[in-house]
A and B are shown apart, each in its own frame.
Chain A
Amino acid sequence: MSILSVRDLHVDYRTQAGPIPAVRGVSFDIEKGEVLGLAGESGCGKSTIASAILRLLPPGTEVTGQVLLNGEDVLRMKPGRLRAVRWTGASIVFQGAMHALNPVQRVGDQIAEAIIIHGQGGEREARVRVGALLEQVGLPPRRIDDYPHELSGGQKQRVMIAMALACSPSLVIADEPTTALDVMVQAQVLKLLNDLQHELGLAMLFITHDLSVLVEVSDRLAIMYAGRIVEDGPAQDVFEDPAHPYSRALAGAFPAIGDQQYRMAPAGLGGDPPYPTDIPSGCSFHPRCPLAFEDCLTIDPELYVAGSGRRAACLLVNRPLPVEAGA
């Protein structure tokens, strides 16, 4: 059984102007000890998925589909059960560690809070556990009584990671965990997450727009565009030989230094991602796609098989290029 199994997830935000479909039918699985990287631009729905998994979305948001965490559907849990599963079953490392910590509470107490609330120990046991957690994330245990402002950005993110591990969850969701960090600190935090993931055999959902970061830490990649997964497969394969034109453009945004094809030739896509209420007909990517042909305007592609363990939602994957594109 997969640790996490998301089936046909739809999320509509409610606004005065009507519903905004942020996620439009997403399915994926994460096995024990596996890291799934979810990539996409802002507004593609990737952070919405992170929140939907633990039902952290604003009240009134319409969520349909299934989110099976260790076989149990999170979307149908009673409030008490949901509270128990949050943090013990799955936890989140949020983006922007700077703002996620309470500035007037010592970091040790903030981590201990999760342990005590979930009944995994009293104050004394919690303090011992927090010391061990801090050590595990590479912080000296004496930092336990520090306030957030006494820590650097990287150290705060380490505290957030310690907090996510506090109740030994089987799944950790990391939502842009390194985006606000400096390059050198980013490398340190990535290494830490990677080491912990191996050491504890965690399942992980790693979300970021930075494809080059994802390919480093993930076993499999899923690329999102306009609320849907448009390509998935083994991380290395997807990054090195993307099947979907959008994945190709995204990979080109993070050129390898020394690669002559990008020297003085930045790769990019014209246009902008569509607004969720204004999704183009047919393939939602067709207005920006350099390879679009007539059928792309009308046919909404599903995920077609694109090699071993790989799928891509592109008509060109399903069939070869038409001989006379204009005909």
Chain B
Amino acid sequence: MSQREGFVGTLGPRIEGTPLLEVEDLYVSFEGRVGLGSGLLGKKATEARAVDGVSLSLAQGEILALAGESGCGKTTLARTIMGLEKAKSGTISFEGAQLGHNLRKYRRRVQMVFQDPTAALNPRQTIYESVAEGLRIHGISRSKDGVSEEQLVARALSRAGMRPPERFFLNYPHELSGGQRQRVVIAGALVLDPEVIVADEPVSNLDASVRGEILRLLLQLRDDLGIAMLVVTHDLGLAWTIADRVAVMYLGRIVEVGPAEEVLQRPLHPYTKALLDVVPEAGGVDRPFLTGEPPDPTRIPGGCRFHPRCPAVASGAAAAAGVEDRCRGQDLGLLELRPNHYAACHLAALETREGNGQARALSTPETSTS
């Protein structure tokens, strides 16, 4: 991209081996509307850069949590991966092959689980019909080993924890509890034997005591069937309970990514630290939190996109370390500051470099200029 002059770092780390799913240099934007009058006067539509340069890889059987505030672009990223939004530029590859126009085969192997199971299920369809719908769309009446549709539906429901499955075939969604409905939605994804499940806030609409069971189900599907998952969530506690890696998004970019233990227990980016600070816990409400305007993807600040809200800039810590000019002026990509732990922060880069002699990525900049 043209504006990436002097851009250091990467938009997302590569993982070892061939990733199952790979997103490279992805940009997605939405255009606002311009009235006829102002259009004639030369006014341009405001462009919301929802995903503003993201690279991401998902290994087989891996659970990656994508965290951030609402409006950070995490849901748009997930929807674009599913082919539900059109990317402005960038590529998505599955098993090394770039996605073209024919998404049918891909859609069978990458399935999505939405946030609200009540909205995701057709209220006039029986559970059996809802789960079998995917099979019919993909023209599968029998699997390779001659298993009937009914057996496939039963197997999917049973894998999703609806046992005995036959008991639920003729139920309608309103006859089930919230947790059971989410299990049906998951069964609808499982029936096609996917390799990847993209789950957008899979438990945030569920009751607290039921959430754990659904998360346990997701973990079990990964362990038993080797399904990789991209879990979009605002809840870092959820990431702690199920994710192998955590990626934190801010205003359309991944600003920190690494192993869950690393990112959640030894965060490098001030934004990740701020997100962790606002996780409620016993001990009172006197926690620091970010002030300032909520992020607006139509107006992405120059330099580090977090600098107007950054506590390190506000407190003068960045100035004291001599990086404030860079925070305000230089857009920064992800740097590998600790093994497999990447962050896009001038101050963290300086501090870890001082800490360990040198940061690895700074000495070997793998800038992906295109």
Contacts and interface: CB of A to CB of B under 8 A. Distances in A.
Interface in A193-244: 194, 209-213, 215-217, 235-236, 239-240
Given A182-B294, A183-B69, A183-B234, A262 B240 contact: yes
A278 to B, nearest CB: 12
Nearest to A43: B207
Given A210-B280, A263-B240, A268-B216, A187 B210 contact: no
Contacts of A240: 282
A contact residues, range = 35 or more
B285 A215 contact: no
Given A184-B278, A268-B214, A272-B207, 14 more contacts: A42-B178, A182-B71, A187-B278, A191-B289, A212-B237, A215-B281, A235-B282, A250-B208, A253-B208, A258-B264, A264-B219, A266-B219, A266-B241, A269-B212
Nearest to B72: A182
Contact of A257 (B180, B234, B279, B282): B279
A185 interface: yes
B211 A236 contact: no
A266 B275 contact: no
A185 B281 contact: no
A43 to B, nearest CB: 8
Contact residues on B (Cβ < 8 Å of other chain), bracket:
35 or more
Contacts of B213: 266, 268-270
29 contacts: A42-B207, A182-B70, A183-B275, A183-B278, A183-B279, A184-B289, A185-B294, A186-B280, A187-B280, A211-B208, A212-B279, A215-B281, A235-B282, A253-B211, A255-B240, A257-B265, A258-B240, A258-B264, A259-B240, A262-B240, A262-B241, A266-B211, A266-B216, A266-B242, A267-B212, A269-B213, A272-B179, A272-B210, A273-B177
B212 A190 contact: no
A246 interface: yes
Nearest to A213: B280
A209 B237 CA distance: 16
B209 to A, nearest CB: 4
A159 to B, nearest CB: 17
Tell me if B's interface is mostly helix, strand, loop or mixed. Answer: helix
A327 interface: no
Contact of B234 (A42, A182, A213): A182
Contacts of A187: 277-278, 280, 285, 287, 289
A184 B236 CA distance: 12
A163 B287 CA distance: 26
Contacts of B210: 41, 268-269, 272
A299 interface: no
Interface of A: 41-42, 152, 154, 182-188, 190-191, 194, 209-213, 215-217, 235-236, 239-240, 246, 249-250, 252-259, 262-270, 272-273, 288
Contacts of A253: 208-209, 211-212
6 residue pairs, one from A and one from B, having the closest CB atoms: A268-B212, A266-B215, A187-B278, A268-B213, A272-B177, A41-B207
Contacts of A210: 208, 280
Nearest to B213: A268
A268 B215 contact: yes
Given A253-B209, A257-B236, A263 B241 contact: yes
Interface string B235-247: 1110011100000
Contacts of B235: 183
A188 B216 CA distance: 32
Most A CB within 10 A of own CB, among B71, B213, B241: B241
Contacts of B211: 253, 266, 268
A129 to B, nearest CB: 26
B237 A256 contact: yes
Contacts of B287: 187
Interface in B64-94: 69-71
